[in-house]
Amino acid sequence: MVEQAWFGKTGFKVSRLVQGTWVTGGWAWGGSDETESLLAILRALELGINFIDTAPVYGFGKSEEIVGRAIRQWGREKVTVATKCGLEWDQGRRIRRNSRPERILHEAEESLRRLGVDCIDLLQIHWPDPDAPFENSMHALIKLQEQGKIRCFGLSNFSREQVLECLRTGPVCSLQPPYNIFERQSEKEILPFCVENEIPTLVYGGLCRGLLTGKFTGNETFPKGDLRRTDPMFKPDRFKKYADTVNEIKAVAAEYGKTPAQLALRWAIHQPGVTCVIAGARTAKQAEENAGALDWEISPSDLTRVDEIVAGHVGEPTAGS
């Protein structure tokens, strides 16, 4: 059995690595192959990854449907499934935030149908909606829990102040902030807050949109429809700096017989306040590589060494650096 942790007070015992499925839906990542995506999820499950994170907006339902197929093949009782709510889209696939109670209740029903399950383990509000009072959104989540349609609920991309506002209405079972070697804003408030309040986290972006895999030289370009095409971190002047940084981190990883991606995910697992780390995979081979982040340790001196490498190339690591 791979490395696991109790996920806060939810009663879930989950792998420290979470199978992410944004890329599974293809949207914003230049498309995806459904068969390969399904095999990637099944391979992760075979390797002991028992926690899957998805969302309706990932491929506009496609990701949840593929996850549902994997669950049916693998066995519902063996998997902890997290999905999200609070985003809607029109026929032109223009997305906007909507966490009004009626939207949350509707999305939950749609997710249950696409996933093919009777109950969602963890339902998270994907992004805070400034036009929907948090109290009302929380009441919708509580209603779904009372109806037995979800086991618990959490928040994604919420600030400390926003979480505190939600806590006035009910419990928050988890938080999902962005976090990786290059993007560390969550260290300032969210992760310490989670430690203090015993709220488990499943951090996303552990490979920083692929930057930390070591597969880039900094000269690559991305096709239309790939979010990295407009991401400031992938613009020529900065892209090369990040690629050079990873090239140096690669040497640290090699000392452990690991890849840069495995070291990056392991680095995140080591950080205070991090319960689990999400990593996506297009293929079964990528799922295998991700799983290599579990069941080993990075020495304190090498954790410091990674920080020094980052600081030497791109300055002190901060969000969006």
In the chain, the amino acid numbered 157 is: N
Instruction: Please spell the DSSP secondary structure of 58-110, one letter per residue.
Output: TTTTHHHHHHHHHHHHH-GGG-EEEEEESEEE-TT--EEE---HHHHHHHHHH
The token pair at 21 is 């499925």
Q: Strand, coil or helix: what is 122? A: strand
Q: Tens place of pLDDT for every residue, the chain, 321 residues?
A: 899 999 999 999 999 999 999 888 665 555 678 899 999 999 999 999 999 999 999 999 999 999 999 999 999 999 999 999 999 999 888 999 999 999 999 999 999 999 999 999 999 999 999 999 999 999 999 999 999 999 999 999 999 999 999 999 999 999 999 999 999 999 999 999 999 999 999 999 999 999 999 999 889 988 887 889 889 999 988 999 999 999 999 999 999 999 999 999 999 999 999 999 999 999 999 999 999 999 999 999 999 999 999 999 887 655 433
- Measure the CA–CA gap between 128 and 146, rounded to whole angstroms: 23
pTM, entire model: 0.94
The residues that are catalytic are 58
- The hierarchical CATH code for the domain 4-211+260-297 is 3.20.20.100
Q: Is-contact 43 207, C-beta < 8 A? A: no
Q: How far is CA 184 from CA 256, 274, 291, 307, 316, in A?
A: 24, 12, 23, 11, 10
Place of tokens 């749609």: 110
